[in-house]
Amino acid sequence: MQDAGRLPFSQACENNKDAILKVLQQELQEYTHVLEVGSGTGQHSAYFAPNLPHLQWQTSDVIDNHHIIKAWHNAYPTSNLYAPLTFDLRTDALPKSVTGKLYDAVFTANTLHIIAWSLVENLFKLAAEALPTNGKLIIYGPFNENGHYTSASNQSFDLSLRQRDPSSGIRNKEDIIILAKQHHLTLGNQYQMPANNQILIFKKIKRLRAEE
């Protein structure tokens, strides 16, 4: 087992993990199999999986991050926590589950403002294709509302993101909701979270036969 004190560490994950967990405990009571997109350090998964023991928690990320995620999983092993699958949003399908079962929820934290808009579009498309009716896409992060920043700290964060990568930046919640609708994902509960973040819960709605 790796010395947990030496693991690559995200202070933001440490700060927000309890607040996110409370929402997941509420929203995922009836769910069984989650795919996490952009697992990052793996800290969230190592905390959420043991606290959501009814779920199978599948991590994923681009390959460069796998060694960090695995290090966290080695330090905090849990039987319902799965080693990262390689998943880059530039591809055309979600990674297949190692359990052979379908995911009924997709969770991602702090990714939409990092990736280009075309990859945000791909995330919604792929999640909608993979999720069953009533499956949930759960998104945590900062959002703008009505075209405005929700705080001065989000504004300076957005400017720093765009300076580093012009295709990144905090997304408008309204654009996300329109994109979701295009993929038959409808906005359900919304949660205001600490540090000017939010959680948006999208649910896959049943399509009428004529639409298929």
Ligand X SMILES: C[S@@+](CC[C@H](N)C(=O)[O-])C[C@H]1O[C@@H](n2cnc3c(N)ncnc32)[C@H](O)[C@@H]1O
Task: List contacts with ligand X (CB under 6 A).
Answer: 10, 13, 38-40, 44, 61-62, 65, 87-90, 109-111, 114-115, 119
> In terms of CB distance, is 140 or 202 closer to ligand X?
140
Q: Which is nearer to ligand X, 133 or 156 (CB)?
A: 156
Q: Residue 100 and residue 200: Cα distance in Å, rounded?
A: 28
Helices (H), the chain: 11-27, 43-51, 66-75, 117-130, 152-164, 173-182
Residue nearest to ligand X (CB): 40
Contacts of residue 63, defined as CB under 8 A and 6 or more positions apart, other chains included, come to: 86
Least distance in angstroms from the C-beta of 61 to ligand X: 5
Task: Give min distance, CB of 164 to ligand X, in A.
Answer: 12
| Residue with Cβ nearer ligand X (111 or 144) | 111
The rounded radius of gyration (Å) of the Cα atoms in the chain is: 17
Residue 38 or residue 135: which is nearer to ligand X going by CB? Answer: 38
Helix then strand then coil, % of the chain, to nearest 5: 40, 25, 35
CA 126, CA 94: separation in Å to the nearest integer? 6
In the chain, how long is the greatest CA-to-CA distance?
A: 56
Both structure tokens of 80: 């319902």
Nearer to ligand X, 90 or 207 (CB): 90
Instruction: Provide the minimum distance between the beta carbon of 133 and ligand X in the complex, in angstroms, as a whole number.
Output: 26
Shortest Å, Cβ 25 to ligand X: 18
| Smallest separation, CB 118 to ligand X (Å) | 10
